[in-house]
Amino acid sequence: MLVASGIADAAHGRDRDVVTAAGADHLVPRGEGFADAVLRLRPGGVDGLIDTAQFTGAADAAVRDGAVIAALRPVAGAAAGCGLRRRDVNVIEHSADTRVLAALRDHVESGALTLRVAAAFAPEEAAQAHAFLEKGGVRSRPVIVF
């Protein structure tokens, strides 16, 4: 999913409902044509973009000069152009940072951040959780509840 200034992409009908419920003001189609669709809504480009779909440079045209692109999956060889600033968000870097984890927990508990849980598994069902995810087609994530 790409999110830009209240604009988000969605590939499937069921994704559109989820993305709208997450707060997107405008939906545009996923894939080729994303940047053009964003520019029709914001002709000068958006101030920032969150890329969870590894669009890499395909979405660069949708952002204004000096904008920030945050990629939730680091992309090898992604170059910043047109004054763009790229920020890879690597969750693993923060996995032992209790301050960051506590802040995330607080956001979830306050309702500011909503988690999409596909299924819950007990620790002894970890293999089933991995198999569930590897099967594909999952629009959210399995969690292991301790």
What lies within 8 Å, CB to CB, of 92 at 6+ separation is none
DSSP 79: P
**Is the pLDDT confidence value at 82 over 80?**
no
Superfamily of domain 2-93: NAD(P)-binding Rossmann-like Domain (3.40.50.720)
At 23, the pLDDT band (50, 70, 90 cuts) reads: confident
Q: Are 71 and 49 in contact (CB under 8 A)?
A: no
* Length of the chain measured in residues: 146
Average pLDDT, the chain: 81
Q: Where do the structural domains in the chain lie, given as residue ranges?
A: 2-93, 115-146
Res. 2: pLDDT tops 60: no
Evaluate if residue 91 carries a pLDDT over 90.
Answer: no
Percent share of the chain, pLDDT over 70: 80
Q: Is 22 helix (H, G, I), strand (E, B) or coil?
A: coil
**Long-range pairs for 135-141: beta carbons < 8 A, 24 or more residues apart:** 139/14, 139/15, 139/18, 140/115, 140/116, 141/116, 141/117
Bridge partners of 71, per DSSP, are 51, 88
pLDDT at residue 86 in the model? 67
Label residue 75 by pLDDT band (50, 70, 90).
low
